[in-house]
Structure 1
Amino acid sequence: MTASNPNTAAPARTQVGVPRDELVRWLNEYLDTDAFSDVSLNGLQIEGKDRVTRVAASVDSSLRSIQAAADAGADLLLTHHGLFWGKPLAVTGPHGRRIKAALDAGLSLYASHLPLDYHREVGNNAMMAKALGLEDVVDFGEYGGKKLGLAGTLPRELDLQDFADRIQKLTGEICLVHSGSHPFVHRIGISSGEGAGLVPEAARMGLDTLLTGEPAHKYFHDAFEYGVNAIFAGHYETEVFGVRALAAKLEEEFGLPWQFIHQPTGL
């Protein structure tokens, strides 16, 4: 299933495309890729065609995502979860088929993990904070020496269930809610993906609610014992925002049309 940007008009430059290496340099600089110590190999992971005329974006670098991007005529696929994670992998089995599908299509693959969680303009957390209208936004969510997330104040206090319903409308998925004894939501911390362990930090900052992706058994009791509400909106669903915003930024900067490859995992 795919969802397209309705604005398909593009400057004449896109008739011959934009040099791939120019886009990669711009992305590396814009995302400050080298500033992050990350298990993900951030940046260009697969080198495809020399020029890019169309972009696709996807949360995951699955075979389905790669094939869908190729079928859509994309020359560059932006993903949050790439194919290389801290150790060499044999180019065999599913891993080999993913790489082969991209190479056969001339499709470049660019991955941005922690840099895209962090980014204060198009990052996952920044986009959620913007969608919620957070005010007095500050850094939050210690991970790997950086505060990847954001915390802020809602314009008005909301009932916990009303807030959860609002998140459900934002993501399209039902949330799991752990009530930490706060019946209302006003000051919240946001950390996309795996942020269940941030409840203690939220408590130290005086936040009443943590919004993150997926729960973890070892942190199950924290929300109840620290008195901080925890709302789990899905790892996938909290990480669709960054790749979509980044693709839209490429359209703004380079006039490249883009398409989002939507393949929810339910997790």
Structure 2
Amino acid sequence: MTANPNTTSSETRSRPGVPRAELIQWLNDYLDTDAFDDVSLNGLQIEGRDTVTRVAASVDTSLRSLQAAADAGADLLLVHHGLFWGKPLPLSGPHGQRVRLAMEAGLNLYASHLPLDHHREVGNNAMIARALGLEDLEDFGEYGGRKYGLAGTLPRELDLQDFADRVQKLTGEICLVHSGAHPFVHRIGINSGEGAGLIPEAARMGLDTLLTGEPEHKYFHDAFEYGLNAVFAGHYETEVFGVRALAAKIEEEFGLPWQFIHQPTGL
């Protein structure tokens, strides 16, 4: 990523703080949180202080990210991967420690999983497409009846290795490349995180390259057999974009300073 792993906005605050209820309502409306059927519990997962004066953002929720947010004086931690997924867990062991740490620190925890993947302004896929300069964007990457990714065209063709190098500069991580017989990259499908299973859809759309996060063993042969390039840029590294953009949007709307907590997983 960057030389400084914690990216912080301007320290200037245009107002002393924002009521939590106002900020959460704005987030829910802006992200259209309630419209998504998701295994993640999207929205406010842990209620903390009533007023938010500083925001932290992180891809994952862990003891380290929660502690870093508390140490930074944040009142709200924005995450892509929250603490609650589909079924209740006992508040014991590490899960209980995470919840207890957040509550003792008065830290609000807000998670946005599929809504942030999908969002066409600050979403992971939208931010990657914008950074790559893709044109003629269209929806791509169906999951549960909704398309979360984006497909588009590069302004000019790139050699596959040149494209992988460009993605590496964007993410800071070396990409895994499966060359499916296309020596050049022009029409690209983007789906952050887990998207290896979208190779057949990309082929049906006439794309030549899929850019996603992590490979999966059961889809290993698909790129070669469908004749499609697959560039795997890391689950974590393809999902730093959304939470950072969302935190910056909060600063734009409310004048709240923010900090990105960079804790790469290598996956």
TM-score, length basis structure 1: 0.98
| SS of 1:192 mapped into structure 2 | strand
**Corresponding residue for residue 66 of structure 2:** 66
Q: Please give the per-residue CA displacement for 1:128-183, whole angstroms capped at 9, x wherever unaligned.
A: 00000000000000011110000000011000000000000000000000001000
Instruction: Using the TM superposition, give the Cα deviation of residue 249 of structure 1 relative to its aligned residue in structure 2, in angstroms.
Output: 0.3
Q: Tell me whether 1:120 sits opposite 2:123 in the alignment.
A: no
What amino acid is aligned across from residue 173 of structure 1 in structure 2? E
**Corresponding residue for residue 164 of structure 1:** 164
User: Would the aligned equivalents of 1:2 and 1:259 in 2 still touch at CA under 8 Å?
Assistant: no
What are the equivalent positions in structure 2 for 1:1-267 lying under 5 Å apart?
A: 2-11=5-14, 13=15, 15=16, 17-267=17-267
Q: What is the root-mean-square deviation of aligned Cα atoms in Å?
A: 0.8
| SS of 1:99 mapped into structure 2 | helix
**5+ residue gaps, structure 1:** none
Instruction: Using the TM superposition, give the Cα deviation of residue 8 of structure 1 relative to its aligned residue in structure 2, in angstroms.
Output: 2.1
What amino acid is aligned across from residue 79 of structure 2 in structure 1? T
Alignment partners' CA distance in 1, 2:5 and 2:206: 40
User: Would the aligned equivalents of 2:6 and 2:261 in 1 still touch at CA under 8 Å?
Assistant: yes
What amino acid is aligned across from residue 78 of structure 1 in structure 2? L
| SS of 2:127 mapped into structure 1 | helix
Q: Please give the per-residue CA displacement for 1:113-138, whole angstroms capped at 9, x wherever unaligned.
A: 00000000000000000000000000
Q: How many pairs does the alignment contain?
A: 264
Instruction: Using the TM superposition, give the Cα deviation of residue 2 of structure 1 relative to its aligned residue in structure 2, in angstroms.
Output: 4.3
Instruction: Using the TM superposition, give the Cα deviation of residue 3 of structure 1 relative to its aligned residue in structure 2, in angstroms.
Output: 1.4
Alignment partners' CA distance in 1, 2:132 and 2:168: 12
| SS of 1:182 mapped into structure 2 | coil
**5+ residue gaps, structure 2:** none
Instruction: Using the TM superposition, give the Cα deviation of residue 6 of structure 1 relative to its aligned residue in structure 2, in angstroms.
Output: 4.1
Alignment partners' CA distance in 2, 1:149 and 1:34: 19
What amino acid is aligned across from residue 101 of structure 1 in structure 2? L
TM-score, length basis structure 2: 0.98
Alignment partners' CA distance in 2, 1:84 and 1:31: 18
